[in-house]
Amino acid sequence: MQFRELAVAGAWEVTPRVIGDSRGAFLEAFKIAPFRDAVGHPLDLQQVNCSVSAAGVLRGIHFADVPPGQAKYVTCVRGAVLDVIVDIRVGSPTFGRWDTVLLDDRDRRAVYLSEGLGHGFCSLEDDSTVMYLCSSGYAPEREHGIHPLDPAVGVEWPTTDRSGRPLVPHLSAKDEAAPTLAEALEQGLLPRYDEVQAYVSGLGDA
């Protein structure tokens, strides 16, 4: 299992070793020792979510108040999605930067994003199934979003599916109504980099 830190500090791409034969395949989807070595602390698993999305469905960009925030270990067990992590931490050296990882049922990669980062994905196939291991449970009063098509963020969402057919973005009503990054900043919704760093640093003592 290999961890590669992304362009957004606090997020990693995880590539497992997939062992395959005529029967199918086997892999270790999560392992605590290499996770702790890469991230610096264990994952305090509090909730596991599963979403199933048609091609073109765009979910995000979501984030939660810190503390406690919501770190996520995300993988696609069926189909394919383009996963996106956005640095929304006010005062971060990479504020506004984003990075992507293709998650699918071939390479079986995962991503881990620590507390205070924004997360979203676009489904590239019908019935793409995403599993999220979360460090905190769902708490609607602490959860927020940024419009995924905000041109100031400029995420380069895919325009075709894996077969080359055009994709039309399909957003939920909640995501469609989400503020831009600038509006979220003005409204005081975004986490502060120094506060996030202090909170995450304390997790290593857990």
Residue ranges of E strands in the chain: 2-5, 11-15, 19-21, 24-26, 47-53, 58-64, 72-78, 80-87, 98-104, 110-113, 117-123, 128-134, 143-145
> What's the pTM value of the predicted model, to 2 decimals?
0.94
**Which CATH number do you get for residue 91?**
2.60.120.10
Number of structural domains the chain divides into: 1
Q: In what order do the strands lie in the sheet with 110-113?
A: 2-5, 11-15, 110-113, 72-78, 128-134, 47-53
Give the residue numbers marked as catalytic: 62, 132
Whole-angstrom distance, CA of residue 197 vs CA of residue 89: 10
Let me know if residue 43 belongs to a domain.
Answer: yes
* 106 φψ region: left (φ > 0), alpha (ψ -120 to 50), beta (else): alpha
Run of H or E residues at 23: none
Report yes or no on 32 lying in a domain: yes
The C-alpha atoms of residue 154 and residue 100 are separated, in whole angstroms, by 12
Give the model's pLDDT for residue 38: 96
Q: How many residues does the chain have?
A: 206
Residue at 153 is within a domain: no
For residue 147 the two structure tokens come to 């419009």
Which tokens in the block code for residue 107?
Answer: 């390479």
Segments forming the whole domain that contains residue 94: 2-148+167-203
- Cα–Cα separations (whole angstroms), residue 50 to 21, 125, 128, 177: 27, 16, 10, 23
Domain contains 27: yes
Distance CA 174, CA 93 (A): 29
Q: Does any domain span residue 175?
A: yes
pLDDT, averaged in runs of 10, over the chain (206 residues): 96 96 94 96 96 97 96 98 98 97 97 98 98 95 97 96 93 97 97 96 79
Distance CA 122, CA 206 (A): 34
Assigned domain for 162 exists = no
Instruction: Tell whether 155 is covered by a domain.
Output: no
